[in-house]
Amino acid sequence: RQLEEKDNQFSLASVREFLTREEDSIVFSLIERAKYPSNFPVYDPSYLAGAAFPYHNHSLVDIFVRESEAVQARAGRYQNPEEIPFFPESLVPPLVPPYQYPKVLYPAAASVNVRDTIWKMYFDQLLPQFTSKGDDGRYALTAAADLVCLQALSRRIHYGRFVSEAKFRDAPNNYSSAIRAKDRDALMRLLTFEVQEETVKRRVEEKAKVFGQDVTVDNGTSTNESSRPQYKVDPNVVYHLYGNWVIPFTKQVEVEYLLHRLD
């Protein structure tokens, strides 16, 4: 019954609430990753050159994500339609009995994804922008932090499927002709709300400031009132992460979903 209620409340407003909460997870995950320097060996396949088959010639992070996903698949993570794995080919059957998740997504469109695009963006573009150069040997912790970042970004971006579903249900007639004509540009125009995008970007920038500043207890003896706050992750990087990648990728997922919405 609880599920039906939840399903009944499904709307663009509830979807946007979910996206807002995911911002916290994304910002926190970046802050955690920023604890460690770039730690190049984590990403360098030759670091594991001496490892046994099938691990040799893979990067440590690659193996870490793949095997973590398999463990999480056992625990039922990917039964949840909100979750999309990076390595679907290495998943294992869940140990847990099925949970009745609300059936919100349109089945023919539910599997659209941009996992490879997210993977590439994270390692090639984003990581160098918010980690300091260096190597402190904490490779397992680094890979674990990367996993959490990747999963948070993926959940947010792939939630575009739910956003589209809400928009389609609100106004099927507005979308149907563009879907039938496979008109990506028209779909993109229909689903874009520029004011909302600006609100999101400004809010995540603010969250990076609030969550990522050093907290001190002022005992009244502080003399350096004028010192500028230091942030663990540059709020501007988070603003541009959303502007350049998170929002555009979400919109890409939204368009792809809609293209299959009448299959």
Ligand X SMILES: O=C(O)C(=O)C[C@]1(C(=O)O)C=C[C@@H](O)C=C1
> What is the contact surface with ligand X in residues (CB under 6 A)?
16, 19, 163, 191-193, 196-197, 200, 247, 250-251, 254
Question: In the numeric block, which tokens belong to residue 60?
Answer: 């440590």
Closest to ligand X by CB, 105 or 191:
191
Please list the helix, strand and coil fractions of the chain in percent, rounded to the nearest 5, in that order: 65, 0, 35
Cβ nearer to ligand X, comparing 11 with 192 = 192
- Supply 139's token pair: 């490779």
Nearest approach, Cβ of residue 145 and ligand X (Å): 24
Nearer to ligand X, 99 or 193 (CB): 193
Instruction: For residues 42 and 48, give the distance between their C-alpha atoms in angstroms, rounded to a whole number.
Output: 9
Which C-beta is closer to ligand X: that of 251 or that of 261? 251
Smallest distance from the beta carbon of 166 to ligand X, in angstroms? Answer: 8
Place of tokens 């980690």: 131
Query: Hey, is 229 helix, strand or coil?
Result: coil
CA distance 262 to 108: 8
Amino acid present at 36:
Y
Q: How far is the CB of 249 from ligand X (least distance, A)?
A: 8
For residue 231, list its beta bridge partners: 213
Looking up tokens 């690659």, which residue turns up? Answer: 62
Taking CB positions, which residue lies at the least distance from ligand X?
Answer: 250
Output the smallest distance, CB 158 to ligand X, in A: 11
| Residue 40 vs 193, nearer CB to ligand X | 193
Closest CB 119 distance from ligand X, rounded Å: 19
